[in-house]
A = this chain, B = another copy of it.
């Protein structure tokens, strides 16, 4: 089993959906990624920053899942990053109501000594300069570096983002972002273009329409599980990414065949994440439930057909 380092936000979220609303609850990309990867019993650690207002109990909830919070800097006089948003009846559309960067505005990430030799590195969605600062603190390149990013960084910090993209192995972005980054409408062509920027693997997240995994020779598709009810999509993309890298870290195998299993695992875990507000579902999830749903994924996708 490989060691996993995760850099990303640890935050307060306040969420409103057609089904209800929350006060400030535990959120952030690194939170969702780590809780997802933790389903595989991986030894992981987070690099992030929070304010003095961040409850110790939240850190304890992570620690209880073998997630090291040693790398989460606490700035006592500062406030934790806060995001709030409201989803429409069509849960694919949301309005951001608040984005208070707070302590994240001047975040200077420091990788704890215990994780400088990490096998797997997950660069969660935040400023590319922070992602690069983490890469530079590692004396040797990890076995696999996965980057998650979004259109905001393409719009505002493209040069810095391209430098990060040149140094990573796998990029995970959504379909519109893949089109924006590549200038190609076809996702097949978009992936080909992105390979020339550095990554050897491209994962295109299409939300309820599933996810595509590309390398230069192969394409694999993992559907999203069709659900009766999606309650809150917050964190689904991060949970997908956490399941992807968590599975790879657990199995310590980065072959394309194993990456297929990793995207299925990510899709599987994301299907739970959306069933409750925030991290609620992920924090009570059992191995038996995951295995049961994996069986549903097999039934959903596997077929036998005669090839002559």
Contact = CB atoms under 8 A, between A and B. Distances in A.
Interface in A264-288: 264-265, 287
A302 B261 CA distance: 10
Interface in A179-233: 185-189, 206, 209-210, 212, 218-221, 223, 226-230
Nearest to A204: B226
Interface in A156-174: none
A223 B187 CA distance: 14
A56 interface: no
A151 to B, nearest CB: 17
A186 B300 contact: no
A57 interface: no
A93 interface: no
Contact of A303 (B89, B220, B230): B220
Interface string A237-261: 0000000000000000000010011
Contacts of A221: 223, 226, 300-301
Given A209-B206, A300-B221, A226 B188 contact: yes
A257 B302 CA distance: 10
A90 interface: yes
A105 interface: no
A89 B185 contact: yes
A99 interface: no
Nearest to A292: B307
A295 interface: yes
Contacts of A218: 299
Contacts of A185: 89-90
Contacts of A62: none
A59 B300 CA distance: 40
A219 B210 contact: no
A64 interface: no
Contacts of A303: 220, 257, 260-261, 264, 301
15 contacts: A186-B227, A186-B228, A186-B229, A186-B230, A188-B228, A209-B210, A212-B226, A219-B299, A257-B303, A257-B304, A264-B303, A291-B308, A298-B305, A298-B307, A301-B301
Given A261-B303, A301-B302, 11 more contacts: A89-B185, A90-B185, A187-B226, A189-B228, A219-B300, A220-B300, A264-B303, A291-B308, A294-B305, A295-B307, A302-B302
